[in-house]
């Protein structure tokens, strides 16, 4: 006898499959990371990230407008200053490149959520995410001395029009320090999206090319998380909740879907996942080699992040995927 239950009955037609689909992916779920470089006249392609570029201000505005036209939910800005020094003061300069870019985008009144990455690695001459302990050549960052600089950067970005502050440095106590500084400066309604579970991943290579932010010595394993540790990731994320984070992020996304699921089960705050540069590059190069159908693979990958619990997704495919989803 045939079985009473046949799961295939509910897959029989396109209309039925669409009606019963459990996970949705829409353009407004996507956030586009954009690189803006001080002193750049137009744009420069990033060889390790096909289809992505470093932008000057004019080029950045055109890209932001294209994202808005495609229906992308927001953009997050990463700045590349002309000059770097050990402290990383370009991060909080009132005329810093991210601050200039934020004011320019806000002036266009685009229907985009404007987010700012808060970290010092792109601005320091040594490439680390905070202040190096005096005489330390192994990359150990002075956690507490860095907090004031991150808070200063967050306030500077908020003054320039950044709507969501996203600290990615992985210093202990940074969420509380940034929340206190924002509140004191009058930005009580500015939310914090914490890179709460950010791992010391091999998938960041293309980003470091794009942002010129590779450490000059040592590595970031003393402050970014060990890829082998899941319980620690949940513990750190929940500490950020206690400190006042409004949203949490898992980075990388595709390689850490299990962390995203576990964090979704442990916390009811909005969650973001970052499909990082190396994950983006793998999809691009595999598609270029004819190994995968790019459109199908990208949408499947992004859907997997939503299925695992992400409310929003940072992805370099944002504009392209949004256009596909609206067809």
Tokens of 36: 């803006």
- Mean pLDDT taken over the chain: 95
DSSP state of 222: T
Q: Judge whether 102 and 112 are in contact, CB under 8 Å.
A: no
Pick the more confident residue, 1 or 180: 180
What is the mean predicted confidence (pLDDT) over 84-89? 93
Question: Quick one: pLDDT at residue 1?
Answer: 61
Question: Quick one: pLDDT at residue 2?
Answer: 72
DSSP state of 22: S
Q: Which domain holds residue 135?
A: 23-326
pLDDT-derived band at 139, boundaries 50, 70, 90: low
Determine, yes or no, domain membership for 14: no
Determine, yes or no, domain membership for 232: yes
Residue carrying the six token digits 């590059």? 281
Rounded to an integer, what distance in angstroms lies between the CA atom of residue 158 and that of residue 156? 5
Question: Quick one: pLDDT at residue 5?
Answer: 87
pLDDT-derived band at 212, boundaries 50, 70, 90: confident
Question: Quick one: pLDDT at residue 10?
Answer: 94
Domain count, the chain: 1
Q: Does 221 score more than 80 pLDDT?
A: yes
Determine, yes or no, domain membership for 287: yes
Rounded to an integer, what distance in angstroms lies between the CA atom of residue 69 and that of residue 91? 29
Determine, yes or no, domain membership for 17: no
Question: Quick one: pLDDT at residue 216?
Answer: 83
Determine, yes or no, domain membership for 15: no
Global confidence as pTM: 0.95
- State CA 82 to chain mean position distance: 22
Query: Number of helices (H) and strands (E), helices first, in the chain?
Result: 11, 10
Determine, yes or no, domain membership for 161: yes
Q: Torsion-angle region of residue 161: left (phi > 0), alpha (psi -120 to 50) or beta? A: left
Q: What is the CATH number of the domain that holds 313?
A: 3.20.20.70
Determine, yes or no, domain membership for 9: no
Catalytic residues: 198, 251
Name the β-bridge partners of 45: 53
237-286 pLDDT, tens digit each: 999 999 999 999 999 999 999 999 999 999 999 999 999 999 999 999 99
Q: Does 301 score more than 70 pLDDT?
A: yes
Determine, yes or no, domain membership for 71: yes
């Amino acid at each position: 006898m045939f079985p009473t239950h046949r799961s295939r009955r509910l897959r029989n037609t396109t209309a039925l499959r669409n009606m019963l689909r459990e996970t949705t992916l829409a353009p407004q779920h996507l956030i586009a990371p954009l690189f803006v470089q001080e002193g750049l006249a137009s744009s420069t392609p990033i060889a390790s990230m096909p289809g992505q570029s470093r932008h000057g201000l004019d080029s950045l505005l055109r890209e932001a407008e294209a994202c808005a036209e495609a229906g992308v939910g927001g953009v997050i800005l990463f700045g590349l200053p002309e000059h770097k020094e050990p402290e990383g003061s370009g991060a909080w300069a009132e005329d810093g490149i991210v601050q200039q870019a934020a004011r320019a985008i806000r002036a266009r009144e685009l229907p985009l959520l404007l987010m700012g990455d808060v970290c010092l690695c792109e601005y320091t001459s040594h490439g680390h995410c905070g202040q190096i302990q005096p005489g330390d050549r192994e990359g150990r960052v002075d956690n507490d001395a860095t907090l004031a600089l991150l808070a200063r950067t967050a306030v500077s970005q908020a003054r320039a029009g950044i709507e969501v502050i996203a600290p990615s440095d992985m210093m202990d106590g940074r969420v509380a320090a940034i929340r206190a500084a924002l509140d004191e400066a009058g930005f009580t309604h500015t939310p914090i999206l914490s890179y709460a579970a950010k791992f010391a991943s091999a998938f960041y290579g293309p980003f470091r090319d794009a942002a010129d932010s590779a450490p000059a010595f040592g590595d970031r394993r003393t402050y970014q998380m060990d890829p082998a540790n899941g319980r620690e990731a949940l513990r750190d994320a929940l500490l950020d909740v206690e400190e006042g984070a409004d949203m949490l992020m898992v980075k990388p996304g595709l390689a850490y879907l299990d962390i995203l699921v576990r964090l979704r089960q442990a916390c009811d705050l909005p969650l973001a996942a970052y499909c990082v540069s190396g994950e983006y590059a793998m999809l691009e190069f595999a598609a270029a080699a004819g190994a995968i159908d790019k459109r199908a693979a990208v949408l499947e990958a992004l859907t997997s992040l939503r299925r695992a619990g992400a409310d929003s997704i940072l992805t370099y495919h944002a504009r392209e995927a949004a256009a596909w989803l609206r067809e």
